[in-house]
Amino acid sequence: MKASSIHIDTIFNNIVSTTETCCTTLWGFSSYIQTPEHTILFDTGSNGRILLKNMLSKGIDIQKIDTIFLSHGHWDHIGGIDSIIELNPYVTLYVTPHLSKNFIRDYRQQSRGVEVIGEKLTQIAPHIYSSGARGSSLEQSMIIECDEGLILIFGCAHSGVGEIAKLAAKTFKKEILLLLGGFHLENRSDEEIRKLMQIFQETHTKTIIPSHCTGERAMKLFHEEFQGAYIQGGVGQSLTFDSDGSVVLL
Ligand SMILES: [Fe+2]
Ligand SMILES: [Fe+2]
């Protein structure tokens, strides 16, 4: 699968996009991911009303969604789930045991099905993988395997962006085209952030697009260190890839 066939819209974020002003910012994260075979909603932000408004602003058709991937059970990632299911119950949910048993039982009745991902890296669709439920938040990240390299998407990355990046690079033996989402570095020291930047180099990471819970200090250091390889993420941002796997903002 060519990276140029992937299209990602960030539709919920507490960070304003530098290029898009159509959407409302609110604490949380959600991305809408289109591949040749699937249309995936990655997390649902903290609020269904704002999620639907932002999707409408971006011209997104909710009926096209066939997969919902919930990174973990924190309120700012699952708050919009009911608004989506009400409009489109024909979806399969991929969740981790961080979601309560009652949530899983209820959504099984209201959707095509709910798959609970264990701790191992797991394929969920052609070219699309869950990292497995990791850390104390049992969080899963998404790995999309393209011919040119890997695309990794994080909700909060409570278990560590670096750990998942290393796992993906080692498993697939490919360079990383993009790390996108919340990097959860708000209270980390400069030394810890610099160690993470070292992992970005070691995993041959081409582009990073942090947002949500990454933290201002980390964003500033990334910007200074990586310059063109760093793009600030934000709500309403849309992107694809060119033929060599570089990010193209739309
Ligand atoms: Fe979060
Ligand atoms: Fe979280």
Domain residues of the chain, as ranges?
Answer: 3-249
**Is it the case that residue 82 has pLDDT exceeding 80?**
yes
Q: What pLDDT was estimated at residue 144?
A: 98
The phi and psi torsions of 231 (rounded to 5 degrees) equal: -130, 130
Residue 162 three-state SS: helix
Q: What pLDDT was estimated at residue 58?
A: 95
Q: Find out whether 128 and 33 touch, Cβ atoms under 8 Å.
A: no
Terminal Cα distance for the chain, rounded: 20
Q: Cα of 162 to ligand 1 centre, how many Å?
A: 17
Mean pLDDT of 84-113: 97
Q: Cα of 117 to ligand 2 centre, how many Å?
A: 17
Q: What pLDDT was estimated at residue 198?
A: 97
Q: Find out whether 68 and 41 touch, Cβ atoms under 8 Å.
A: yes
**Is it the case that residue 19 has pLDDT exceeding 90?**
no
**Is it the case that residue 161 has pLDDT exceeding 90?**
yes
Q: Cα of 209 to ligand 2 centre, how many Å?
A: 18
Ligand nearest to the CA of 158: 2
Q: Cα of 205 to ligand 1 centre, how many Å?
A: 23
Ligand nearest to the CA of 77: 1
Give the span between the Cα atoms of 137 and 211, in whole angstroms: 19
**Is it the case that residue 214 has pLDDT exceeding 80?**
yes
Q: Cα of 181 to ligand 2 centre, how many Å?
A: 11
pLDDT (tens digit, 9 = 90+) per residue, 195-208? 999 999 999 999 99
Q: What pLDDT was estimated at residue 227?
A: 84
The pLDDT > 90 percentage for the chain reads 96
Per-residue 3-state assignment (H helix, E strand, C coil) for 100-136: CHHHHHHHHHHCCEEEECCCCCEEEECCEEECCCECC
Alpha-carbon torsion angle 72, 73, 79, 82, nearest 10:
100
Copy the structure tokens of residue 5: 């066939």
Q: What pLDDT was estimated at residue 168?
A: 98
Residue 249 three-state SS: strand
Specify the DSSP class assigned to residue 82. Answer: H
Burial 41-80 (b: 16+ CB within 10 A, else e): bbbbbbbbebbbebbebbebebeebbbbbbbbbbebbbbb
Ligand nearest to the CA of 13: 1
Q: Cα of 2 to ligand 2 centre, how many Å?
A: 31
Q: What pLDDT was estimated at residue 170?
A: 98
**Is it the case that residue 100 has pLDDT exceeding 90?**
yes
Instruction: State which fold the 3-249 domain adopts.
Output: Metallo-beta-lactamase; Chain A (3.60.15)
Position 173 confidence tier, pLDDT thresholds 50, 70, 90: very high
Q: Find out whether 89 and 114 touch, Cβ atoms under 8 Å.
A: no
Ligand nearest to the CA of 215: 1
Q: Cα of 156 to ligand 2 centre, how many Å?
A: 5
**Is it the case that residue 21 has pLDDT exceeding 80?**
no
Give the span between the Cα atoms of 84 and 11, in whole angstroms: 13
